[in-house]
């Protein structure tokens, strides 16, 4: 008999997290069991401060707990100690009452569990006189280690960016760290294991600071670099544990020294300048000559704000352990083509639009300036198209120190680009000398989609690359121009797609804090997070419908996809304040801001039915606003139910009912027509269940008619497009949804593919072979919002989804819609329980669907077999088919089954054309 097992242990969604500040971490695991119907019936979890799990080392164990729970089980033992490693392991009992062996042990390590534990002080170069600018500072601190080192941990925060070295060796593989926050509210820190780099005797801890999002140029402010302070700041502690048991702490304080070096300037928008002639050989080694170095200035204790003020006991800016994997170099690309559009200027085509930088390996004479420029597209003459960058210079320069070969890449900038222009070299470099380095938060890639249509597969690649290019510290709108902000509307429409492609729960846990930090005193949420101070004045920071609603939609989606209720609980009160702000600012529950004249949000942004010269569509902004008001209230009601807040459930249900009534009275005619009569008006009303039952079909019919009148082309913008195909499919018109997906005429998803897109574009016509480039003011070639079609492709075309928001219900949903121009599609997803798969092919009307359900999970499969008989095959093993595939319903030709863990094949015939 096969024996069950346990694998893939995680803590807080991560494998062996180093440096968490969560007092009650949560544990997850997979049941490692390929038997059909395998289910966990009980588990036993242990947490100890020693990997031997001796009784004296145990800090918590559950005992043999009868439960199928295996996702985010919260710690409930003795208080954890700061800066300590803990080990955990699990064994489980299967559906046949057999216990597994103990799993291999995993671990997590705490950092500072209380903010007052920091001993370090914020330090800054002593020339910080309040004026911004100046070369990035190099900082160092010599220290001695008096005995054999047992362990060493570096805890590092920065206002700005930091690259660390210890005794001449680079610390960590992350870049652009510790990342981006609203520095008025919080700063992140990272934990590094540096035990292998410490020497007995003399050591040197060294840091280069970059301006980054703290003191660099952000959000199109041409002449103003400092978004917060003038110069970047450092806070760090190095904790040494000696073999003798003694502990030593080296911290940032007045004993540190600083100076400038070869790095002359760094800016996220404008690029980096480096003069190798000014390098400081060995500057980060213990024995470096410190002549010419100066003392730093202490800003204040760890609790101090960036301007040095020390808040009252009520608390100041938070210092949080980073909850999301940091930005890393995740891939490298070699150019596929090289040209010389102008004499001495060489352009290298990576073949893919990316976010990152270029590494160069070139040969030049001393004093030569090598200039790198970056662009997403080329002009017809082969030169870089940079007009869409607006004021961003996106230029890196390197000055050679001596004759011969050198290798260089920047530290504190990034670019959005496909093309690299190199000038200043004496002759054409080979393509192997230019490397495109791809950067983004190092999130696990979890989903795979493919189908029989090559253009749709290219579309999926574009969606994936668009996400990779914009999931860099925040879900940004674009990575190339003088913007690169965490636009909330873009993020909320794309998060279901994002959660398929990557493990984004930690990413959105961080970004939800960014949104909470930006919340205004009246409860409003701005349109970007982290907040940009001049864009979000405290009295007018309402981001508007579909944008500010991200504050409610994103945590709901994280709960739905990952079963993570903590993000909901932590932000429930703030979400309630946001909903109340909408209620107070509405006119009779119609969401039309009565406090800010002419402001109702961004409408259906870049809709095709927008008036000439406008980016705001014809759908009334208050209609969109009221629809989203109802939707946010309904989602908050569902979250209140999940949290057991019964009084709030009653209140929110009544508020939702009244908003729906107001919506119908304001925007819906007796025949079911919607005010504005646009595709988007019908889509939002249907998506959010705002119409009475008897008017839903007329609304669907009108939506289809509007599409037909445009020759089966959409006119929707950022608001309507993500909902369009899901609404059509939900109301039985997947034939029209497929028609839109496979449409190749303008505007459509495949139109941009045929124009050469390798990422998602901001506009359907950002570039066309016929007319060239679109309006330069808003013309990003890496803008993921329209990539939100991905969620429909995964859930309806391939037919695979996860929903953990309904306790007791199957968490995996199998519901493909085969045919309509495709002969096959498949999706594979790493779910919280293990790998799941839905894959179908169709041959002359015969559909074969292969399904994989992971152990300890159930699925609900909805098979669109019509009047056809369904043949079901399974690897039965010890179980019987009737116990593994349980019929639940048969209505309108949709056969619903409850399906246990295992591999299955469903076969039926269909009339849908392939």
Give the other-Cβ count within 10 Å of 880's Cβ.
12
Q: How far apart are CA 51 and CA 107, in angstroms?
A: 9
Q: Is the pLDDT of residue 597 over 60?
A: no
Handedness of CA 735, 739, 740, 742 (dihedral sign): positive
Return the H-helix or E-strand segment holding 356.
Answer: strand 345-364
Q: Is the pLDDT of residue 229 over 60?
A: yes
Q: Is the pLDDT of residue 491 over 70?
A: yes
- Predicted confidence (pLDDT) per residue in 625-682, tens digit: 999 999 999 999 999 999 999 999 999 999 999 999 999 999 999 999 999 999 999 9
Answer for the pair 749, 765: CB distance below 8 angstroms, yes or no. Answer: no
Q: Is the pLDDT of residue 593 over 70?
A: no
Q: How far apart are CA 41 and CA 38, in angstroms?
A: 10
DSSP per-residue codes, 382-394: SSEE-GGGTT---
Report, as an integer, the average pLDDT of 511-521: 96
Q: How far apart are CA 804 and CA 282, in angstroms?
A: 54
When pLDDT is cut at 50, 70 and 90, the band that residue 835 belongs to is: very high
Q: Is the pLDDT of residue 336 over 50?
A: yes
> In this predicted structure, which of 511-520, 552-561, 860-869 has the lowest mean pLDDT?
860-869
When pLDDT is cut at 50, 70 and 90, the band that residue 222 belongs to is: very low
Structure tokens belonging to residue 42 = 């009980």
Q: Is the pLDDT of residue 873 over 70?
A: yes
Report, as an integer, the average pLDDT of 309-337: 89
Residue 536 has what pLDDT? 54
Q: How far apart are CA 458 and CA 464, in angstroms?
A: 10
Q: Is the pLDDT of residue 910 over 60?
A: yes
When pLDDT is cut at 50, 70 and 90, the band that residue 115 belongs to is: confident
> Regarding predicted confidence, which is higher, 309 or 42?
42
- Note if the pTM is more than 0.85: yes
Q: How far apart are CA 887 and CA 856, in angstroms?
A: 19
Task: Name the one residue in this structure whose structure tokens are 């399906």.
Answer: 899
Handedness of CA 788, 791, 796, 797 (dihedral sign): positive
- Predicted confidence (pLDDT) per residue in 814-830, tens digit: 999 999 999 999 999 99
- Predicted confidence (pLDDT) per residue in 675-715, tens digit: 999 999 999 999 999 999 999 999 999 999 999 999 999 99
Residue 130 has what pLDDT? 52
Q: Is the pLDDT of residue 146 over 90?
A: no
Residue 461 has what pLDDT? 98
* Active site residues per annotation: 483, 762
Task: Name the one residue in this structure whose structure tokens are 């016509």.
Answer: 765
Report, as an integer, the average pLDDT of 877-894: 85
What's the Cα-to-Cα distance from 459 to each of 462, 467, 494, 582, 774, rounded to whole Å? Answer: 5, 12, 15, 37, 20
In terms of Cβ atoms closer than 10 Å to its own Cβ (0-12, 13-18, 19+), residue 790 is buried
Phi first, then psi, for residue 631 (nearest 5°) are -65, -45
* SS3 (DSSP) at 220: coil
Mean of pLDDT over the chain? 94
Q: Is the pLDDT of residue 223 over 80?
A: no
Residue 308 has what pLDDT? 83
Q: Is the pLDDT of residue 339 over 80?
A: yes
Task: Name the one residue in this structure whose structure tokens are 């961003």.
Answer: 392
What's the Cα-to-Cα distance from 243 to each of 146, 148, 274, 547, 901, rounded to whole Å? Answer: 10, 6, 42, 54, 49
Q: Is the pLDDT of residue 534 over 80?
A: no
What is the DSSP secondary structure assignment for residue 528, as one 8-state letter?
B
- Predicted confidence (pLDDT) per residue in 440-487, tens digit: 999 999 999 999 999 999 999 999 999 999 999 999 999 999 999 999
């Amino acid at each position: 008999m096969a024996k069950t097992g346990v694998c893939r242990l995680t803590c807080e969604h991560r494998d062996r997290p180093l440096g968490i500040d969560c007092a009650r971490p949560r544990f997850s695991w997979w049941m490692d069991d390929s038997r059909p119907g395998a289910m966990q019936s009980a588990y036993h979890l242990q947490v100890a401060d020693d990997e031997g799990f001796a009784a004296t080392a145990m800090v918590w164990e559950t005992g043999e707990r009868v439960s199928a729970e295996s996702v985010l089980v919260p710690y409930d033992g003795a208080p954890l100690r700061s800066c300590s490693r803990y080990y955990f392991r699990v064994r489980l009992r299967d559906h046949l009452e057999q216990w597994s062996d103990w799993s291999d042990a995993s671990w997590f390590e705490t950092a500072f569990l209380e903010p007052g534990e920091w001993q370090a002080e914020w330090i800054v170069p002593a020339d910080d006189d309040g004026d911004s600018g100046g070369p990035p500072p190099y900082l160092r601190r010599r220290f001695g280690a008096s005995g054999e080192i047992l362990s060493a941990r570096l805890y590092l925060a920065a206002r700005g960016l930091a690259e660390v070295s210890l005794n001449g060796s680079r610390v960590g593989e992350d870049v652009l760290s510790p990342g981006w926050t609203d520095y008025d509210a919080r700063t992140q820190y990272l934990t590094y294991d540096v035990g292998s780099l410490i020497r007995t005797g003399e050591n040197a801890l060294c840091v280069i600071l970059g301006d980054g999002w703290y003191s660099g140029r952000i959000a199109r402010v041409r002449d103003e670099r400092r978004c917060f302070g003038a110069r970047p700041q450092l806070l760090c502690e190095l904790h040494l544990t000696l073999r003798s048991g003694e502990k030593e702490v080296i911290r940032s304080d007045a004993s540190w020294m600083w100076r400038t070096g070869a790095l002359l300037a760094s800016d996220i928008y404008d690029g980096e300048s480096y003069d190798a002639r000014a390098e400081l050989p060995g500057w980060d080694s213990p024995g470096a000559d410190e002549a010419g170095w100066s003392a730093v200035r202490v800003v204040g204790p760890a609790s101090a704000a960036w301007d040095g003020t020390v808040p009252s006991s009520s608390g100041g800016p938070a210092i949080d352990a980073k909850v999301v994997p940091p930005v890393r170099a995740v891939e490298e690309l070699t150019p596929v083509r090289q040209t010389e559009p102008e004499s001495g200027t060489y352009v290298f085509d990576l073949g893919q639009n990316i976010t990152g930088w270029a590494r160069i390996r070139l040969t030049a004479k001393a004093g030569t300036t090598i200039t790198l420029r970056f662009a997403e597209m080329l002009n017809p003459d082969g030169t870089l198209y940079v007009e869409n960058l607006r004021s961003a210079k996106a230029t890196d320069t390197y000055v050679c120190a001596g004759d011969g070969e050198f290798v260089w890449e920047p530290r504190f900038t990034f670019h959005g680009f496909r093309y690299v222009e190199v000038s200043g070299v004496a002759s054409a470099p080979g393509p192997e000398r230019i490397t495109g380095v791809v950067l983004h938060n190092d999130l696990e890639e979890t989903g795979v989609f493919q189908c029989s249509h090559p253009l749709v597969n290219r579309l999926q690649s574009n969606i994936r690359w668009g996400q990779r290019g914009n999931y860099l510290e925040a879900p940004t709108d674009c990575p190339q121009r003088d913007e690169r902000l965490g636009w909330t509307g873009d993020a909320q429409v794309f998060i279901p797609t994002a959660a398929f492609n990557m493990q984004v729960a930690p990413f959105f846990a961080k970004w939800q804090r960014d949104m909470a930090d930006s919340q205004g005193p009246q409860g409003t949420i701005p349109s970007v997070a982290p907040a940009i101070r001049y864009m979000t004045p405290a009295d007018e920071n309402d981001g508007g419908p579909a944008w500010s609603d991200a504050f409610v939609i994103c945590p709901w989606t994280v709960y739905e996809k990952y079963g993570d209720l903590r993000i909901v609980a932590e932000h429930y009160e703030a979400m309630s304040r946001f909903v109340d702000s909408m209620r107070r600012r509405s006119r009779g529950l119609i969401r039309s801001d009565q406090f800010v004249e002419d402001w109702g949000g961004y409408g259906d942004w870049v809709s095709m039915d927008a008036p000439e010269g406008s980016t705001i569509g014809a759908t009334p902004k208050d209609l969109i606003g009221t629809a989203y008001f109802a939707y946010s209230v309904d989602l908050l009601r569902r979250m209140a139910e999940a949290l057991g807040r019964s009084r709030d459930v009653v209140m929110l249900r009544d508020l939702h009912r009244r908003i729906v009534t107001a919506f119908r009275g304001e925007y819906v005619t007796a025949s079911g027509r919607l005010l504005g009569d646009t595709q988007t008006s019908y889509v939002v009303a249907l998506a959010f269940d705002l119409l009475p039952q008897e008017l839903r079909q007329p609304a669907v019919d009108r939506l289809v008619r509007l599409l037909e009148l445009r020759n089966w082309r959409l006119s929707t913008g950022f608001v309507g497009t993500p909902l369009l195909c899901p609404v059509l499919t939900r109301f039985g018109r997947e034939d029209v949804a497929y028609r839109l997906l496979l449409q190749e005429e303008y505007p459509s998803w495949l139109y941009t593919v045929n124009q050469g897109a390798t990422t998602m574009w901001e506009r359907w016509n950002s570039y066309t072979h016929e007319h060239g480039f679109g309006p330069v003011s808003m013309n990003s070639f890496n803008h993921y919002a329209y990539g939100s079609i991905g969620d429909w492709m995964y859930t309806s075309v391939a037919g695979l989804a996860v929903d953990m928001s309904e306790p007791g219900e199957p968490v995996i949903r199998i519901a493909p819609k085969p045919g309509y121009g495709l002969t096959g599609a498949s999706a594979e997803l790493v779910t919280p329980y293990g790998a799941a798969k839905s894959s179908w092919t169709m041959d002359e009307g015969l559909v074969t669907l292969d399904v994989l359900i992971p152990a300890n999970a159930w699925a609900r499969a909805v098979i669109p077999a019509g009047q056809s008989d369904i043949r079901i095959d399974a690897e039965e093993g010890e179980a019987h088919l009737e116990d593994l595939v349980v019929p639940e319903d048969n209505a309108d030709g949709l056969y619903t089954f409850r399906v246990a863990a295992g591999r299955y094949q469903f076969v039926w015939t269909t009339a849908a054309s392939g």
